[in-house]
Amino acid sequence: MTRDEAIQVLAEADLIVAAADIERALYHMAAAISDRLAEAHPLVLTVMNGGFFLAGQLLPRLRFPLECDYLQATRYRNTTQGHDIEWRVAPREAVAGRTLLVLDDILDEGITLAAIKARLLADGAKECLTAVLARKKLGRPQPVTADFVGVTLPNRYVFGCGMDVRGAWRNLSEIRAVKGL
């Protein structure tokens, strides 16, 4: 997407969740995660690239010891259509016997997050919890349920807060929806 195309997409987009509402959601997520994991010394795995926004905003709010790593598995590859899961980077840290917290931007169809969770459990994780900034209401079952959810969104193509539209606008502090998608 060119710079001008990205500016046009933003200009036409609908505001779905304001930045102040994202801040409140992060506060509540941090409190719930702290209640659940403060004694666990978890390994926090950020799903790149979308999860970096959530990790950057959430981790400073977690006031207990934890370790961090990342992984990269994707279905979208800068498009608006999902494909087969492509594993790009596995965690460097051993997950066997560990309590894990996986951070991702959105629980949409749930295929990617379900595959990530299944692989980590198959690799011997003691427990694998998931946190997503946003969950879409699809009106149909998803193959995985997030343990911690910031906001619930309508079934539209959204961007901002780590989510992109054809590679652009992950950096927004609010969530917007593309017109016509």
pLDDT at 82: 57
Domains annotated on the chain, with CATH:
3-177 (3.40.50.2020)
Give pLDDT < 50 ranges for the chain: none
Using the CB atoms, write b or e for 24-56: b if 16+ within 10 Å. ebbeebbeebeebbeebebbbbbbbbbbbbbbe
> Residue 110 CA to chain centroid, in angstroms?
11
* pLDDT tens for each residue of 83-134: 578 888 989 989 999 999 999 999 998 999 999 999 999 999 999 999 999 9
